[in-house]
Structure 1
Amino acid sequence: MVPVSRASTASVPGLAIRREGDRDIARILPEERPVALVFNGATAAVMMATPADLEDFATGFALTERFIEHPDQIESLENITHENGIEARVWLRDDRRDVVFERRRTMLGPLGCGLCGIDSLEQALRPLPTLTGDGPFLDRLEAARATDALRNFQPLHDMTQALHAAGFLLPERGILLAREDVGRHNALDKLIGALARQGIDPGDGAIVLTSRVSVDIVQKTVIAGCRILIAASAPTAYALELATSAGLTLAAFARDGEVDIYSHPNRIRRGHPDES
Structure 2
Amino acid sequence: MPLDAATALAAAPVSREIAWGPGDVQLYHLGIGAGVPATDPRELRYTLETRLHVLPSFATVAGGGPPGVIRALSVPGADVDPARVLHAGQSLTLHRPVPVRGTATAVSRVTAVHDKGTAALLVLRTEAADADGPLWTEEALAHMRGEGGWGGDRGPSGRPAPPAGPPDAVVERAVREDQALLYRLTGDRNPLHADPGFAARAGFGRPVLHGLCTYGMALKAAVDTLLDGDVGRVRSYTTRFAGVVYPGETLRIRMWRQRPQGREGRIRMAVTVVGREDAPVLAGTAVGYR
TM-score, structure 1 as length reference = 0.28
TM-score, structure 2 as length reference = 0.27
When Rg is computed on C-alpha atoms for both structures, the one with the higher figure is 1
